[in-house]
Amino acid sequence: MLSQYVNLSRRPRALLLSAAAALFVFSTSVWGQIQKDACDLNSDGTDDAADVTLAVNMDIGMATCNASIIGVNLCNVVVVQRVTNAALGGACSAGNPHTATLSWTASTTPNVSYNIYRSSTAGGPYTKVGSVGVGVVSYIDAKALAGETYFYVVRAMDSTNTESANSNQVQAGVPFP
């Protein structure tokens, strides 16, 4: 059963969320820079098949994900596609200057998912911007606008769809552009 209240306390670049049965660490980052040569994953000076192989291995967990193409240390099929396009002579489309990323450690409570809420005003009101399933410990807000500051809270939700109280808020400023 989830605690009725979830408390977050501010830490440098991270937040600590404690509930009756779990301890969570939340952090935020804002991806606002577009890297040059981000698709050159092996840093050999060219975008080629070796980079594609590395992107695939990062995506499937066979190599440590250190790509910064669509987000810091975010590896998925979109990264593989962008690296493949670059290896075939296209441009390396790196970054999305309008994202904010939240991440946290998993709850020890079984079958817990999370709902993410955002406000443009400190203290709310908050609007639900997304949710993540059981075992997922991060969320990327891809609808964040450049030059805006957002305030996020997360609510844990157990298998009976009982939602916890708001965590303390996390502030994320999205650079322009």
Asked whether 87 and 95 are in contact (CB, 8 A), the reply is no
Asked whether 102 and 154 are in contact (CB, 8 A), the reply is yes
Sequence-ordered strand ranges (E) for the chain: 7-11, 14-19, 22-31, 99-104, 113-119, 127-132, 138-141, 149-157, 170-173
CA–CA distance from 29 to each of 49, 95, 140 (Å)?
A: 30, 13, 10
Q: Which residue has the higher pLDDT, 34 or 170?
A: 170
pLDDT digits (tens, 9 = 90+) for 49-81: 999 999 999 999 999 988 888 777 788 888 899
| Domain ranges across the chain | 7-31+105-173, 33-95
24 — pLDDT class (breaks 50, 70, 90): very low
Other CB atoms within 10 Å distance of the CB of residue 171 = 13
Does the pLDDT at position 101 exceed 90?
Answer: no
Mean pLDDT of the residues in the chain: 76
Mean pLDDT for the stretch of residues 90-104: 74
At position 116, the amino acid (one-letter code) is: I
The structure tokens listed for 156 are: 């844990």
pLDDT digits (tens, 9 = 90+) for 129-172: 999 998 888 888 878 877 789 999 888 899 899 998 888 888 98
CATH classification (class only), 7-31+105-173: mainly beta
- Rounded CA separation 39/66 (Å): 11
Does the pLDDT at position 19 exceed 70?
Answer: no
154 strand-pairing partners: 116
